[in-house]
Structure 1
Amino acid sequence: MILPGFPDAQPVEGLFGGLMIGGAAASMLLGLGRIAGVSGMLARASGVERTPTPWPIAALFIVGLVVGAGLFSAVAGPVEASFPPDYGWLVAGGLAVGFGTRLGSGCTSGHGVCGMSRLSPRSLVATGTFIVAGMVTVAIVNALGGGW
């Protein structure tokens, strides 16, 4: 399916991916009473932070992300990705995201998927902030001729 203005969009695949993410988040919340935020799981699995989530669950969650990506790549083929030619921007972006995750008490998956579905006021504000910050960043990068 081709969408006007978005020739590379894959809406059907996006729908199925969203359903799988939502199902996994709901299963974790309903089955274990835990939020499936990736940054919190990674912090717990790596020992950076002690959270109520048991370590084995956090570790299996992170391992599942890696194994799932590997299985997908084995079945569907490698995923093509392009990055800016200067890896400094990539590193700076990663550090900024990590800082923002700690400052905002969670990442986009925790707030955007799990928090929004629970109508958490903090997550509503955080997700709105993510969207606005992303729009501003894209506008600035494109205005400076740095879009890729």
Structure 2
Amino acid sequence: MSSFASAFAGGLQIGLSAALFLLLDGRIAGISGLVAGLARPAGEGPAGEAWRTGCAFLAGLVLGPPVFALLAGGWPVMWIEASLPVLAFAGLLVGFGTRLGSGCTSGHGVCGLARLSPRSAVAVAVFLGSGMLTVALGRVLA
């Protein structure tokens, strides 16, 4: 039950942060969009404010795990069985898919579905279907 409770608490925090970001800043908390926005110059006025807000949101994502490790007394145990080149290639594929799909799973799944976006509903169905197919094929081929 402990893993259920921590997953539930994490989901609540993600939903709350996405809702607050939309309510307080008027922007969607899609990570790929925020990262892409960092590539543009900060500028002045609303553009500069949006850039700084995106930086703060992303800094929270990066600093969250070390703060968790500090409060929990250590890092959770994880096993990654893939090599570094495979992980790098997988990351590039995820980045390509994010650009191709006009957003990432967090943007479409958390924020897009909450806004009842038809494009996000299709994207999430494709994400989930692709994931299920990959697992099924991986089990058959393994």
Shared topology, TM-score over 0.5? yes
Partner of 1:14: 7
Stretches of 4+ aligned residues off by more than 4 angstroms: none
Answer yes or no: is 1:25 the counterpart of 2:18: yes
Between the two proteins, what is the percent identity of the paired residues?
47
Please give the TM-score of this superposition, normalised by the length of structure 1.
0.84
Cα deviation, 1:72-125, whole Å, max 9, x if unaligned, reads 011112022222243333222111110010001100100000001111001000
| Aligned positions, number | 136
Higher normalized helix content (fraction of residues): 2
Asked whether the equivalents of residues 111 and 123 of structure 1 are also in contact (C-alpha less than 8 Å), the reply is yes
1:137 matched to 2:130? The reply is no
Gap regions ≥5 residues in structure 2: 42-46
Say whether the 8 Å CA contact 1:83–1:90 is kept in structure 2. no
Cα shift readout 1:9-61 (whole Å, capped 9, x = no counterpart): 8111111111111111110111111000111111112449xxx6711011111
Q: Distance in 1 between matches of 2:8 and 2:114?
A: 16
- Is 1:115 aligned to 2:101, yes or no? no
Task: Find the aligned partners of 1:12 and 1:100 in 2 and give their Cα distance.
Answer: 31
2:124 and 2:107 map into 1 onto residues whose CA distance is 10
TM-score, scaled to structure 2:
0.87
After the TM superposition, which residues 1-148 of structure 1 pair with which residues of structure 2 at under 5 Å, given as runs? Answer: 1=1, 10-47=3-40, 54-76=50-72, 77-145=74-142
- CA RMSD, Structure 1 to Structure 2 (Å): 2.0
Structure 1 unmatched runs, 5+: 2-8
For the residue of structure 2 that corresponds to 1:10, the secondary structure is helix
Structure-2 separation of matches of 1:90 and 1:135: 20
